[in-house]
Amino acid sequence: MKKYISDFTIVEKQTYGQQYFKLVLKHPDILPEILPGQFVEVEVKDNKNVYLRRPISIHDVDIEANTLSLLIQIVGKGTATLSHLTIGDKLNLVYPLGKGFSIEGKNVLLIGGGCGLAPLLHTARCYSNKGIRPKVLLGGRTADLIPIKEEFNTFADLYFATEDGSLGEKGLVTTHSIFLQSYDRIVTCGPNPMMKAIARYANEKGIECEVSLENSMACGIGACLCCVADTDNGHKCVCKEGPVFNAKDLIKWSNS
Amino acid sequence: MLEVNIHKLKLKNPVMTASGTFGYGEEFADFIDINRLGGIIVKGTTGSHREGNPYPRMAETPSGMLNAVGLQNVGVDAFCENIYPRIQHFDTNVIVNVSGSTIDEYCQTAEKINALDNIPAIELNISCPNVKKGGMGFGTNPEMAAQVVSEVRKVYNKTLIVKLTPNVTNITEIAVAVEGAGADSVSLINTMLGMAIDVERRKPMLSTITGGLSGAAVKPVAVRMVWQVAKAVKIPVIGLGGISSTNDALEFLMAGATAIEIGTANFIDPTITIKIIEGIQEYLDRHNIKDIKDIIGII
């Protein structure tokens, strides 16, 4: 897929508690095709301690409005700087990057942990466009740490797991009763321990499973080889050969 | 006029890309016309496939970054077979960065690249700080540097550029040694050995503990070293180290670099090379300078 670099304009901003915010970004012209699970590299200006771009997964895409949205968790100085942006500000993006989810299967479970739910909204939308209504399981320590909820209802049946029991079942996503049912595909993005457990489960049960990895990156386009994941086929760039990997290629990783 | 020569190489302009920051050029083809560049120096290539160092391999630092990729590459045979056919038609100088753990490995790799018609030069990497054997080990000792260059010289008959490490007491000593051993040009600087610690986790930021610092932070050191080396050798000098703007590029040229390489800045702006080529032309026009050679080494 062709990659681009453009200045987008922030047309909407929403904050969700202390940690999360969403930016809706309007493309200057016509947005190219964007696959669910792809990401952008965002330029961070006005912070002399931030040198590199920040990889952020694409949360949603509105082709008609020519917008894409980013759901961002404040985890460091780069994302903190981005959180100060306001409507009307410009943001330079390199996009769309990486391999997305394959949007296959009929009986599909999408699992997001914390900010890992970000790419799953566009993913759920794409399944819905194919006439498939996936189940979506979102998890977090508390209900407040699951920033986006109702937005999924249009495309998916929604379930929750929270460690304090404040929303949905009490416990981790991996112990949710949704696993009593069977699936032909699982798609997941979230903290590594969660994804490793899900990848092991899927591999044991022989369920197709796609995992979206997050590693720190420099270039985002497969040039610097900094963001590699240790896959069963050797070091692979998360930015170019991922971020979406088939769990079958991550057996060593999922057991580590 | 932006044309410059590095030994037998004719560059349409002095702007090249630094090894390890530009992949094989293809990664940037969506953003810029590769054919407008003076040259591209592709990923460090070794005698056989290397997996490189474990993740994490990168840490952002003030105005720069540390990397410890460790020469992950497909190996020279896979390069010749699979990658060369895809990139040989670029209308620019495609130069291969050659690295190794032993003199034999350098020579065997250089010899295989010598057979490729559309690779007019190699950049001999005796300066990688991220491999346990070889690499920088060769580049920190004048005798060893001269030895590897003279052995490669015997099997390589095109333009031989030698990439120098800044992690030495006196870089001119190494530059003079490799010039004497038959190098046609030297490029400098490779990354500076550095280190960063995550104090919350109380762990090093890199799996290898130390790594190579690049980016704007190293630029003044690089300009100084280019200036020193350009005064000490007769062969052309290629300058690199943190170049992120037209002004940065001009500093290196004035310090004595005949050409420059852009590295880490490609990660921040994948179109930076073209902006700098246009910026240099604009500078020459603005100052009514006809030939870029009139500013090279004026300091």
A51 CB neighbours in chain B (<8 A) are 60-65, 215-216, 268
Distance CA B291, CA B6 (A): 16
- The first and second tokens of residue A241, run together, are 């050969």
Helix (H, G, I), strand (E, B) or coil at B64: strand
The pLDDT tens digits of the residues spanning B227-284 come to: 999 999 999 999 999 999 999 999 999 999 999 999 999 999 999 999 999 999 999 9
From the number of C-beta atoms within 10 Å of its C-beta (0-12, 13-18, 19+), residue A48 rates as exposed
For the residues of B220-243, what is the DSSP string, one character each?
HHHHHHHHHHHHH-SS-EEEESS-
B216 touches A at CB < 8 Å: yes
B78 touches A at CB < 8 Å: no
Q: Is residue B202 part of a domain?
A: yes
Nearest to B266 among A50, A223, A235 (CB): A223
Q: Which amino acid is at A219?
A: C
Q: Is residue A33 part of a domain?
A: yes
B246 touches A at CB < 8 Å: no
Nearest CA in chain B to A41: B268
Cβ pair B67:A226 closer than 8 A = yes
With beta carbons less than 8 A apart as the criterion, state whether B51 and B74 touch. Answer: no
Average pLDDT of chain B, as a whole number: 96
Residue B262 has what pLDDT?
98
Alpha carbon of A255 to those of A207, A231, B57: distances in Å?
17, 11, 21
Determine phi and psi for A5, rounding to 5 degrees: -130, 125
Closest CA to A147 of A60, A27, A33, A53: A60
Nearest CA in chain B to A228: B55
Distance CA A160, CA A138 (A): 5
Query: How distant is the Cα of A139 from the closest Cα of chain B, in angstroms?
Result: 25
The pLDDT tens digits of the residues spanning B181-219 come to: 999 999 999 999 999 999 999 999 999 999 999 999 999
Nearest CA in chain A to B205: A216
Residue B137 has what pLDDT?
81
Domain that holds residue A90: 4-97
Distance CA B125, CA B46 (A): 10
Q: Is residue B237 part of a domain?
A: yes
Beta strands in chain B (DSSP E): 4-6, 9-11, 15-17, 39-45, 58-61, 64-67, 93-98, 121-125, 159-163, 185-188, 192-195, 197-198, 203-204, 210-214, 237-240, 257-262
Q: Is residue A37 part of a domain?
A: yes
Closest CA to B265 of A52, A86, A183: A52
Alpha-helix runs per DSSP H in B95-218? 103-114, 136-139, 142-155, 171-180
Nearest CA in chain B to A233: B51
Q: Is residue B290 part of a domain?
A: yes
Helix axes B142-155, B103-114, angle to 10 degrees: 30
B26 touches A at CB < 8 Å: no
Nearest to A222 among B23, B58, B63 (CB): B23
Query: How distant is the Cα of A51 from the closest Cα of chain B, in angstroms?
Result: 5
Q: Dihedral through CA B87, CA B93, CA B94, CA B98, nearest 10?
A: 170
Domain that holds residue B239: 4-294
B28 touches A at CB < 8 Å: yes
Question: Hey, which residues does A139 pair with through a beta bridge?
Answer: A113, A161
Residue A83 has what pLDDT?
97
Nearest CA in chain A to B69: A226
Helix (H, G, I), strand (E, B) or coil at B59: strand
Q: Is residue A79 part of a domain?
A: yes
Distance CA B146, CA B277 (A): 34
Please count the structural domains in chain B: 1
B211 CB neighbours in chain A (<8 A) are none
Please count the structural domains in chain A: 1
Residue B131 has what pLDDT?
72
Query: How distant is the Cα of B271 from the closest Cα of chain A, in angstroms?
Result: 9
Q: Is residue B151 part of a domain?
A: yes
Q: Is residue A56 part of a domain?
A: yes
Helix axes B171-180, B142-155, angle to 10 degrees: 30
Residue B129 has what pLDDT?
73
B69 touches A at CB < 8 Å: yes
Name the pTM for this structure.
0.96
Nearest CA in chain B to A93: B269
Helix (H, G, I), strand (E, B) or coil at B284: helix
The gap from C-alpha B29 to its chain's centroid, in whole angstroms, comes to: 20
Distance CA A89, CA A7 (A): 10
Location of structure tokens 């759920």: A124
Query: How distant is the Cα of A132 from the closest Cα of chain B, in angstroms?
Result: 34
With beta carbons less than 8 A apart as the criterion, state whether B191 and B135 touch. Answer: no
The pLDDT tens digits of the residues spanning B124-163 come to: 999 877 776 666 789 999 999 999 999 999 999 999 999 9
Q: Is residue A13 part of a domain?
A: yes
Nearest to A230 among B28, B55, B61 (CB): B55
Q: What is the CATH number of the domain that holds B274?
A: 3.20.20.70
Per-residue pLDDT of chain A (256 residues; tens, 9 = 90+): 999 999 999 999 999 999 999 999 999 899 999 999 999 999 999 898 999 999 999 999 999 999 999 999 999 999 999 999 999 999 999 999 999 999 999 999 999 999 999 999 999 999 999 999 999 999 999 999 999 889 999 999 999 999 999 999 999 999 999 999 999 999 999 999 999 999 999 999 999 999 999 999 999 999 999 999 999 999 999 999 999 999 999 999 999 9
With beta carbons less than 8 A apart as the criterion, state whether A225 and B57 touch. Answer: yes
Helix axes B246-255, B272-286, angle to 10 degrees: 70
Closest CA to A173 of A185, A182, A160: A160
Q: Is residue A200 part of a domain?
A: no
Cβ pair A52:B51 closer than 8 A = no
Question: Hey, which residues does B257 pair with through a beta bridge?
Answer: B237
Q: What is the CATH number of the domain that holds A55?
A: 2.40.30.10
Q: Is residue B299 part of a domain?
A: no
B206 touches A at CB < 8 Å: no
Cβ pair B72:A3 closer than 8 A = no
- Cβ contacts of residue B220 below 8 Å, gap of 6+? none
- The first and second tokens of residue B10, run together, are 């004719």
Residue from B267, B269, B275 whose CB has the most chain A CBs within 10 Å, to mutate: B267
A5 touches B at CB < 8 Å: yes
A43 touches B at CB < 8 Å: yes
Q: Is residue A8 part of a domain?
A: yes
Q: Is residue B111 part of a domain?
A: yes
For the residues of chain A, what is the DSSP string, one character each?
---EEEEEEEEEEEEETTTEEEEEEE-SS-PPP--TT-EEEE---S-TT--S-EEEEEEEEETTTTEEEEEEE--SHHHHHHTT--TT-EEEEEEEESB------SSEEEEEEGGGGTTHHHHHHHHHHTT---EEEEEESSGGG----GGGGGTSEEEEEETTSSSSEES-GGG-GGGGS--SEEEEES-HHHHHHHHHHHHHHT-EEEEE-----SSSSSSS--SEEEETTEEEETTTT-BEEEGGG-HHHHT-
A24 touches B at CB < 8 Å: no
**Interface ipTM:** 0.95
Q: Is residue A11 part of a domain?
A: yes
Distance CA B175, CA B228 (A): 10
Residue from B268, B271, B274 whose CB has the most chain A CBs within 10 Å, to mutate: B268
- Cβ contacts of residue A228 below 8 Å, gap of 6+? A215, A235, A236, A237, A238, B52, B55, B57, B72
Distance CA A2, CA A97 (A): 9
Distance CA B151, CA B147 (A): 6
Query: How distant is the Cα of B43 from the closest Cα of chain A, in angstroms?
Result: 9
- What single-letter DSSP state applies at residue B54? P
* Residues of B involved in catalysis: 128
